[in-house]
Homo-oligomer: A and B are copies of this chain.
Amino acid sequence: MSTSQPRGPGAPRATIRDVAALAGVGIKTVSRVINNEGNVSPQMRERVGFAVAVLKFQPHIGAGTLRRGDRKTYALGLLTDSVDNPFSAAVNRAVENVAMAHNTAVFAASSDDDPARERTLIQAFIGRRVDGLILTMTRSDHGYLQHEREQGTPIVFVDRPPNGLMADAVVTDNYEAAALATRHLLGFGHRRIAHLGDELIIQTAVERRRGFTDAIRAAGLSGGASTSTDNLRSEHEARRAVTELMSIAEPPTALFTSQNLVTIGAIRALRDLGLQHGVAVVGFDDIDLADLLDPPITVMAQNPQAIGTLAADRVFARLDGDTDPPSTQVVPARLIVRGSGEIPPLD
């Protein structure tokens, strides 16, 4: 084991010039070798390769970016609500896989669905001249992105559509998926269903709420029978909301929880009350171990891997010169029936 300590720089970092000097060639020849260009004799290639190895030369990608025609940084900016959220983490991994195949690194950042933080992080990406942006945005106006688009930077919105911008997007049909989930509950005879939703600053929360409300109306139920609690920002808030909800006079017999953390909070609340087998639950987003719970949780599952992959593919297609009009790709969600969503109403 080495005992040397990090006492700051030892030998200065080798540059392309150092390599050229050691190999006794011009710097352009070194450039040709490290970029695998043609018109280099095998002997040259070897001499340069030797010098590169001796000096442990690592080309400075940023310096190349500055001079290169295409100005590529070989970096992407990915913004999600949080790298720590399982849904976003799956998107993140899918994006990384595609990016890696294109020699591209990924900056990952978490907005916490805070419009100010969101903007700060995007500016940071732009200042670093990322080749493309993959963004999960709040509903706040983000027209400020237009300028960056005009510079030619591909921008793809994931999970939620853009606001005030015509741009590529990869999303789930949240309205339809929520309506489907709601109809599933209606089909089992429920007439008092509660919707528990995320912050309405988030576009998908609005869509899911609409899908729920319209499905309830279409079933000919009065709005009063079914309720909606919005702006639940954490598992904790969801838990409290459900606990309160179940204590009212005629409590709901079924819950539609419109996001993974909300679903978990609701399940905890029902457990606390011993109602997990008495109240039906359908959640939006799949949850790890949902099948091992008692009852197993029925969910409307999105496909984050597909969403991430398609979004990254779109970015690289644009970088490769695709000039088709912006398009929105809809990734299907699917209902996974496990048990919690098939509990009939008690009364």
Chain A interface residues (CB < 8 Å from chain B): 1-11, 13, 56, 58-63, 65-66, 73-75, 82-86, 89-90, 92-93, 96, 100, 103, 105-110, 121, 123-129, 143, 146-147, 149-152, 154, 164-167, 264, 267-268, 271, 287-289, 292-294, 318, 323, 325-326
Whether A166 pairs with B323 at a CB distance below 8 angstroms is no
Whether B292 pairs with A267 at a CB distance below 8 angstroms is yes
A110 to B95: give the CA distance in the assembly, Å: 11
**Given that A84-B90, A292-B293, A318-B6 are known contacts, is A107 also in contact with B59, CB under 8 Å in the complex?**
no
The 7 closest A-B pairs by CB, nearest first: A84-B93, A10-B150, A108-B108, A9-B152, A62-B62, A61-B127, A89-B89
Given A2-B146, A61-B128, A85-B89, 17 more A-B residue pairs with CB atoms under 8 Å apart are A2-B143, A4-B146, A4-B150, A5-B325, A6-B323, A11-B150, A62-B128, A83-B83, A83-B93, A84-B89, A84-B92, A92-B108, A96-B109, A105-B128, A106-B107, A264-B288, A264-B289
Q: Which residues in B have their C-beta under 8 angstroms from that of A107?
A: 75, 105-108
**Given that A1-B165, A152-B6 are known contacts, is A83 also in contact with B96, CB under 8 Å in the complex?**
yes
In the assembled complex, the CB of A166 is this many whole angstroms from the nearest CB of chain B, namely 6
Task: With CB as the reference atom, state the residue of chain B lying closest to A55.
Answer: B147
Q: Which residues in B have their C-beta under 8 angstroms from that of A63?
A: 66
A335 to B268: give the CA distance in the assembly, Å: 22
A43 to B84: give the CA distance in the assembly, Å: 45
Task: With CB as the reference atom, state the residue of chain B lying closest to A147.
Answer: B56
In the assembled complex, the CB of A276 is this many whole angstroms from the nearest CB of chain B, namely 9
**Given that A107-B75, A292-B293 are known contacts, is A5 also in contact with B127, CB under 8 Å in the complex?**
no
